[in-house]
Amino acid sequence: MKFESLPNEILLDLFDYFNGIDLLHAFNGLNYHFNSLLYKQYQSYHFKFNSISKYNFDTICSQHLPFITDRIISLSLSDNEKTPGQINLFRSYISSFSQFTRLRSLSIYHLHSYDTLMKIVDECHHLNYLTYLNFYSYFSRFQYNQKDFQSIVNNIWNFPQLTHCNVDISIQGSNFFSIPTKISTSLKYLNMYNNKLTWNQINKLF
C-alpha cells in the first residue's frame, strides 16, 4: 500500500507528530490529496519559529499561514540573535493575533518593543482557547510606563481561559512585575523569574 493511500484518519494522526514547519515542508505540494488534508482538514498546527531561517520563515508566513490561522494551536516567536526582528516581521504578515481563534499556547521570547507587547496582549484578549502564555522580554527604562504596564498585566489576568503563565520581564537589567488589580478566575500556575514578592502581593495574584 502506498503511503498516500492510507485512510485520511491515519494520515491526520501522523501529522500530529510533525511541527508545522516540517509538516508543510514534507507534504505541501505533493499532490491534491495532501494539500486538501493540510489546508482543509488538519486542525492542530504547532509552529516554533525560534531557530528558523528567514527565507523559510518568509515562505511559511506568506504562502501558508494566511490559510490556516484558525487552525494553529501553538505558536512560538523569538527576537534572539538567530532570528532578529522576527516578531514584528511576523506581524507584517499577520495583521492581528486575534485571527488565531483556536490558539492554545503562545510564547514570545526576547521581545524588546514595549509597544509590540501592548499590542499583542490587547489582540489576544478575546482568544477563548488560550491557556498557556510565556513572555520573556527586555525593555529600556525610557520605554517603561507604569500605567501602561499595569494595563498589560490586568489584560493578561483577564484572559478568559488562561491557566499557565510564565513571565520574565526585565526593565534595563532589573526584573519587574506589576501586581494586577484584578483577580484571575482561571489562572492556576504562575512563574515569575527573579522577582521578590511579599505574601500580601502573592495573595493578590489569584
What DSSP element (H or E) covers 12?
helix 8-15
Greater confidence (150 vs 189) lies with: 189
Residue 90: closest CA among 133, 47, 125, 129: 47
Location of C-alpha cell 525560534: 50
- Cβ distance 155 to 185 under 8 Å? no
pLDDT digit string, tens, across residues 59-104: 999 999 999 999 999 999 999 999 999 999 999 999 899 999 999 9
pLDDT tens track for 17-50: 999 999 999 999 999 999 999 999 999 999 999 9
Residues in CB range of 123: below 8 A, 6 or more apart? 96, 97, 98
Q: What's the fold here for domain 49-203?
A: 3.80.10
pTM as predicted: 0.90
Q: Which residues contact 93 (CB under 8 A, 6 or more apart)?
A: 61, 62, 65, 66
What are the structural domain ranges in the chain? 1-42, 49-203
